[in-house]
Structure 1
Amino acid sequence: MAILLHDFAGKHSLTFDVGRLAADAAVADAGHEPNGYFWEGLVQFAWPDIAERLDFDSEAGMFCVVGSPSDLAQLRTALEPVIASPDAVRDIIERAETSGFEFDD
């Protein structure tokens, strides 16, 4: 499952489809819905410095953010290993829940 970067009329976005990611089972096992809104929360918790500069536009079946090419490239580098690893996403969920963060999924 690939993370895609788009440039449409000078507007830059990053998207990926959810529901068939390697990390989805770990998300569901933790009691969350593996949808675009869950991934928004994960990004906001794990990389708040990048997240504050992005505009989120996710849907149930897709994660989508709009931002600068450099912020989107940074996010892609950070996210790629997480969406491919149940252990990595489990670790972030545990840290988030321990800190009191609530996912809006």
Structure 2
Amino acid sequence: MDINHFKETIKPFFWVEHDNSFSVCLEAGSYKQEVFAARADEGFEGNGYDWGSLAQIFLTEKRPDLSKSIRFDPEGGMFCAYSSEGDNLKDFILDFKKACEDEALIRDLFSRAELD
């Protein structure tokens, strides 16, 4: 998949290349807020930390083969995953985006997310 098609496929996540690593980020609050709203009474807001918790569950349960190479660095307004292994991060975000688009799957995964 060429890089432009890849970047279009993962939207609203966005890809960033650094000198020795790669990141994929999302502006928190811009995507899938209804998933987080379902647990708002528990304190979930859909912020970067909530996305980090959801992404960690996805990585642990669905892509454990990538768990050694993917790291998360969320902030209040931004979700960010990074790796020095670009191909692994691309595999992760393609699969995570696909999971986000599967309403039943993403809600099931989110049911096990914990507040950070």
Secondary structure of 1:47 counterpart: helix
In structure 2, the gaps of 5 or more residues are 1-10
Report what 1:75 is aligned to: 92
Report what 2:20 is aligned to: 10
Secondary structure of 1:15 counterpart: strand
Aligned alpha-carbon RMSD (Å) = 2.0
Report what 1:33 is aligned to: 45
Is the CA contact (8 Å cut-off) linking 2:21 and 2:82 kept in structure 1? yes
| More contact order relative to length (CA 8 Å, sep ≥ 6) | 1
Distance 1:30 1:52, change over 3 A: farther
Report what 2:8 is aligned to: none
Is the CA contact (8 Å cut-off) linking 1:42 and 1:103 kept in structure 2? no
Aligned length: 98
TM-score by length of 1: 0.76
The amino acid of 1:35's aligned partner reads N
The amino acid of 1:5's aligned partner reads W
TM-score by length of 2: 0.70
| 4+ residue runs over 4 A deviation | none
In structure 1, the gaps of 5 or more residues are none
